[in-house]
Amino acid sequence: ELKVEQNPLFLSMQEGKNYTIYCNYSTTSDRLYWYRQDPGKSLESLFVLLSNGAVKQEGRLMASLDTKARLSTLHITAAVHDLSATYFCAVEVTRGGADGLTFGKGTHLIIQP
């Protein structure tokens, strides 16, 4: 059974600081996704990582994927309050020809002024 573990699950940080969220998964994966969720809202796609060594950046967020280590990271640079949200990583493994996502439990991020 595929397991996806995120850490930390809760993170409180100050504006201007840097931090990294880690996502470990237990089996070979086809691809990995990062999503953001604001309270009461749906999931907003942040990054799709398709291959080993993939690195993508959008604003203050950068995601990377190491398929050999089965590890993805989401790095936050010079955090601002607007980045406060819950961040999920999700791993996609093709099962019987069909795709499905297995999510981590999410990292609840609070950025304080």
Partner 1 sequence: KAGVTQTPRYLIKTRGQQVTLSCSPISGHRSVSWYQQTPGQGLQFLFEYFSETQRNKGNFPGRFSGRQFSNSRSEMNVSTLELGDSALYLCASSRAGRNDGGYTFGSGTRLTVV
Interface residues toward partner 1, by CB under 8 A: 30, 33, 35, 41-45, 48, 50, 88, 90, 94-106
d(CA 64, CA 75): 8
Q: H-helix or E-strand containing 86?
A: strand 85-92
Tell the smallest beta-carbon distance from residue 35 to partner 1 (Å). 8
Q: Which residue's CB is nearer to partner 1, number 45 or number 112?
A: 45
Q: What are the phi and psi torsion angles at 82 (to 5°)? A: -65, -15
Tell the smallest beta-carbon distance from residue 79 to partner 1 (Å). 24
Tell the smallest beta-carbon distance from residue 69 to partner 1 (Å). 22
Q: Which residue's CB is nearer to partner 1, number 35 or number 79?
A: 35
Q: Alpha-carbon torsion 87, 35, 66, 24, what sign? A: positive
33 C-beta neighbours (distance < 10 Å), count: 21
Q: Which residue's CB is nearer to partner 1, number 97 or number 113?
A: 97
